Structure 1
Amino acid sequence: MSGPKLRKALVLLVSAGLALVTGCAGDGDDSAGLPADQQNSVAGGSGSGDGIRLGILGQCEGPFGGFHEDVVAGTTLALARFAGATPESSTSALEGFSGAEVAGTPIELVGIGCGDDTADRVVQEVRRLVEQLGANVIIGPLSGDEGIAIAEYAKSNPELTVLAGISGSQEQTLQVQAPNYFRFYGDGAIWNAGLGDLLHNEEGWDTVAVIADDYSFGHTSAAGFIADFCGVGGKVTHRVFPPLGTTDYSSYIAALPGPDEVDGYFWAVGGTGTQAALEAFVNGQGDLSGDQHAGNLFFNPDLAQALGTDIAGAYVGGFATLPADVRTPEIEEYLAAADETWESIPGSLSGNEPAPPSVAAAFGFFYGYYTAGVALVEGLEAVGGDVSDLDAFHEAIAGLTLDLPYGEISLDENRSGIVDVGLSRLALDDSGNVVQETVAIVPGVDQTFGGTFSPDTPSPGRDFPACEERELPWEGNAIPVVDGVPQS
């Protein structure tokens, strides 16, 4: 289900009044990160009193369950840096924090929601946080369909303020347009801006096959690449959409053309499916070759390395952060702050084993929730900590321009991020390991994607957008990056 049908189903889901689920995670509770029906009450989370009563929507189960620690840590770091918060544990963000305050207004963590990438579960969780625990601000969610559901919930609950976490579906802002829902990052289409231009005009790809998860984020990510590649004159020959969470990709790989039939493949298969899908390609179509493959944010060096070094040369779309070869004083300060806030945290990039917090902080899941936390702080500062006038508070948030470690972010008229996109390539370092190197930055991309998308166009899906040439403002205008330094 996608597009208008999905949004209609989500509206019905929100309005149907799902049963509240008791319990929560965080604030020192041993059950942190468990599903709601397995959790105990949050310590101190009555939701009473003045100030900000914060609920964080994470995802502790499903394809992206490994990022649960990362996203809670992202918000916690923002509040530790700029609101005086103190984490309750030196080795896990899931234990919560205390002492956060902005302009005399306290920020209390009332609970951590546990999603599983489905709309029904995340609505259960947000209702528990808001209607049972009294949250008046939500940060999250993580994934595509979740974002559409929470945007619809926000639209039906105007007294709530929602700062999206890192959910990359397009519809949550461009179509739903809830005035109390804010996204300080790009969507999945934005993150692929310029990739098609690079592959067609610099690498000589004329034809490509696309394989993407069959849900809102996969559709959005594929839509951005298709609009970009076709916009500059390329042709998409096949579109294959395996369901999110697929374990056996063999039939979907068989539906792709052979390596001698197209110039390349674009992958937008994420979560636990990325490696399984790539392994199925090797088994069904032959070895991976970097000059014939490209992917979105999940196409990273760790997975590629596990499949062999021949993947070096493949291009990768952008995400909320930049690859490790780009280092500025602002980025270094941000990463150092993460290491000063905890001794270690079990982030996704360390296999959920204890590691320096900067490892997780350098990836976009952590960073998206960090930007939301910064936006909350700066929004509160803009109104002097007075949130009694929600219209003024929301107007202040909508007007923010955040000066962030990985670049400045402002919002468009639908309260969605206008961002710079970093494109990269997998390469071999001197030790023969696959690493990710930034090759270009595409500045100032918004979710209309050069006029491709609007509130009146269909939602990204299996058949939209069509493969059509159109002028794109960034064609030929990407800023080259050499040895981690933008050349402008």
Structure 2
Amino acid sequence: MRRPDRPRRAAALLAAAALALAGCSDGGDSSGLPADEGAGTAIGGDGVRLGILGECEGPFGGFHEDAVGGTVLAMVNHAGAEAASPTSAVDGFTGAEAAGTPIELVGVGCGDDTADRILQEVRRLVEQLGANVIIGPLSGDEGIAVAEYAKEHPDLTVLSGISGSQEQTLQVQAPNYFRFFGDGAMWNAGLGDILHNQEGWDSVAVIADDYSFGHTSAAGFIAEFCGVGGQVDARIFPPLGTTDYSSYIAQLPGPDEVDGYFWAVGGTGTQAALEAFVNAKGDLTGDQHAGNLFFNPDLAQALGTDIAGAYVGGFATLPGDVTTPAIDEYLASADAAWESLPGGVSGNEPAPPSTAAAFGFFYGYYSAGVALIRGLEVVDGDVSDPSALHEALSGLTVDLPYGSVSLDENRSGVVDVGLSQLVLGDDGAVVQEAVAVIPQVDQSFGGAFGPDTPSPSREFPSCEERDVPWEGDAIPVVDGVPQR
């Protein structure tokens, strides 16, 4: 179906899936910041000594600039800082202060999506460089590892960057670990309801990356699709970073055996997996496919416009055709802070900073930075008692460009989720169009998940009917405007 052409920001923003393996801008140097040399001894007093856990290697290594940039922009917009470089966020910021307390960047860590590497980096930032606040990490397994580290170091304050695994807050429950965004399951809220009750899907095959975020993303879809009456006929989990998906695609039922396919394959795997599907199963039919945040219009460059019709789960931001004065002001502030930024969304080529700012990797780190500043304001800048800052952060409701975020009892975000669909614009190109908003989704996902339930996995959750609080209550979006 041909739709009117929408703002094209989403096409640029979500190019990430096909570009995630691009190298980081600092060439893989784990120091990440000139101030690393001797920073632990140079900074004293009672100020905030901040370390950022970036992601400069591995499947999401192209997003190192994006991750660091989000925190830098928060400091520029809300703490009076200046970006240290006009063309790179990794160079950090200067002059940040909240409630009279200086915020010094002592170092930037280089993650690679593995728990071992991120633990090395957080230990370096905290135990060698003297960081007392950490923002990050980016990826799922990393988040679990850093949450466990935080639990062992109660005087440390950690605000997750954009790590979407469920366990880091729901199971670990470190009182000094905070996540001001949703998890991967929450970002798929509403998708199962739409596909079963609106699009008529009764059966589905699920293919997802075999690690904590892939498990969490698939778990949210399965819990809802089965909850509203659907059936999952197959669950296939290729390892993250797979390059040849042919053996995994062979395990999927054919297009005439299920009503549809749900994809939670990220990084460069999204395009590679879909290409393998075309080679084995035949041409795509967009209305038989749905995906998590890694589905995007740029898949059409390699796969053709047949991907139009596919539904896409949410992310930390809302789809690009949803605009408000607050969103416009936020994006403009990124363009004012730098001349250009390389990053995963742009294939690590210089691009308008607002391109990165509208994507969830950047925005998650921005949200964490704003939350830190607001927490410091509550305690009047006094960080001598970390528990007071932790209490302040736990009780915050933070007004952010894409909607306010409060925390649940496990210090994880309660958020609005925006769903979208890939459609054909007037010029025949595939664009992303917002279709619905699910308001105030929390980590329990309507009771499907809790501290005592198993972690999302290849087997959990089971496929069973359950109450889905938002079934039939999604807020439709018309021409980019939620009809609240």
Alignment match, 1:14: none
Q: Which amino acid aligns with 2:44?
A: G
Alignment match, 2:16: none
Q: Which amino acid aligns with 2:39?
A: G
Q: 1:407 aligns with which of 403, 411, 436?
A: 403
Q: 1:350 aligns with which of 346, 367, 374?
A: 346
1:117 aligns with 2:105: no
- Write out per-residue CA displacement over residues 63-86 of structure 1, whole angstroms, 9 at most, x where no aligned residue: 000111001000000000000111
Q: Structure 2: where are the runs of 5+ without partners? A: 1-23
Alignment match, 1:387: 383
CA apart distance, 1:36: 3.0
Alignment match, 2:237: 241
- Write out per-residue CA displacement over residues 193-238 of structure 1, whole angstroms, 9 at most, x where no aligned residue: 1100000000000000000000000000000000010000000000
Alignment match, 1:366: 362
- 8 Å Cα contact 2:421/2:432 also seen in 1: yes
SS at match of 1:106: strand
SS at match of 1:430: coil
1:209 aligns with 2:212: no
Alignment match, 1:431: 427
Q: 1:339 aligns with which of 335, 340, 343?
A: 335
Alignment match, 1:36: 30
Alignment match, 1:255: 251
**Structure-to-structure mapping, 1:78-117, within 5 angstroms:** 78-117=74-113
Alignment match, 2:5: none
Q: Matches of 1:335 and 1:41 in 2, distance apart?
A: 28
1:200 aligns with 2:196: yes
- 8 Å Cα contact 1:188/1:217 also seen in 2: yes
Q: Compare 346-355 and 139-148 and name the one that shifted more.
A: 346-355
Q: Which amino acid aligns with 1:49?
A: G
- 8 Å Cα contact 2:34/2:91 also seen in 1: no
- Write out per-residue CA displacement over residues 271-305 of structure 1, whole angstroms, 9 at most, x where no aligned residue: 12111111111111111111100000001111233
**Structure-to-structure mapping, 1:48-67, within 5 angstroms:** 48-50=43-45, 51-67=47-63
Q: 2:316 aligns with which of 314, 320, 329?
A: 320
- 8 Å Cα contact 1:32/1:112 also seen in 2: no
Q: Which amino acid aligns with 2:69?
A: A
Q: Matches of 1:257 and 1:422 in 2, distance apart?
A: 29
Q: Which amino acid aligns with 2:424?
A: L
- 8 Å Cα contact 1:100/1:108 also seen in 2: yes
TM-score normalized by the length of structure 1 = 0.92
Q: Compare 47-56 and 31-40 and name the one that shifted more.
A: 31-40
CA apart distance, 1:321: 0.4
1:454 aligns with 2:450: yes
CA apart distance, 1:375: 0.3
- 8 Å Cα contact 1:33/1:114 also seen in 2: no
- The share of aligned pairs that are identical, in percent, is 78
Q: Structure 1: where are the runs of 5+ without partners? A: 1-29
Q: Matches of 1:37 and 1:336 in 2, distance apart?
A: 30
**Structure-to-structure mapping, 1:287-302, within 5 angstroms:** 287-302=283-298
SS at match of 1:46: helix
Alignment match, 2:480: 484
- 8 Å Cα contact 1:55/1:138 also seen in 2: yes
Alignment match, 1:46: 40
1:181 aligns with 2:177: yes
Alignment match, 1:27: none
Q: Matches of 1:247 and 1:408 in 2, distance apart?
A: 39
- 8 Å Cα contact 1:32/1:95 also seen in 2: no
Q: Matches of 1:33 and 1:337 in 2, distance apart?
A: 27
Q: Which amino acid aligns with 1:42?
A: D
- Write out per-residue CA displacement over residues 352-389 of structure 1, whole angstroms, 9 at most, x where no aligned residue: 10010000001000000000000010000000000111
Q: Matches of 2:361 and 2:377 in 1, distance apart?
A: 25
1:418 aligns with 2:403: no
Alignment match, 2:19: none
CA apart distance, 1:155: 0.2
SS at match of 1:94: coil
- Write out per-residue CA displacement over residues 120-141 of structure 1, whole angstroms, 9 at most, x where no aligned residue: 0000000000000000000000
The number of residues matched between the two structures is 459
- Write out per-residue CA displacement over residues 404-446 of structure 1, whole angstroms, 9 at most, x where no aligned residue: 1101100000000000000100011111111110000000100
CA apart distance, 1:480: 0.3
1:440 aligns with 2:432: no
- 8 Å Cα contact 2:418/2:437 also seen in 1: yes
Q: Matches of 2:44 and 2:199 in 1, distance apart?
A: 59
- 8 Å Cα contact 1:31/1:40 also seen in 2: no
SS at match of 1:248: coil
CA apart distance, 1:43: 4.9
- 8 Å Cα contact 1:161/1:181 also seen in 2: yes
Alignment match, 1:6: none
SS at match of 1:381: helix
CA apart distance, 1:46: 2.5
Alignment match, 2:15: none
Q: Matches of 1:85 and 1:358 in 2, distance apart?
A: 18
Alignment match, 1:270: 266
- 8 Å Cα contact 1:423/1:439 also seen in 2: yes
Q: Matches of 2:111 and 2:443 in 1, distance apart?
A: 26
Q: 1:190 aligns with which of 181, 186, 190?
A: 186
SS at match of 2:404: strand
- 8 Å Cα contact 1:347/1:357 also seen in 2: no
Alignment match, 2:6: none
CA apart distance, 1:391: 1.2
**Structure-to-structure mapping, 1:219-230, within 5 angstroms:** 219-230=215-226
Alignment match, 2:123: 127
CA gap of 1:77–1:459, structure 2 versus 1, over 3 A, is same
TM-score normalized by the length of structure 2 = 0.93
CA apart distance, 1:334: 0.2
Q: Which amino acid aligns with 1:346?
A: P
Q: Matches of 1:410 and 1:383 in 2, distance apart?
A: 18
- 8 Å Cα contact 1:305/1:434 also seen in 2: no
1:139 aligns with 2:138: no
- 8 Å Cα contact 1:35/1:115 also seen in 2: no
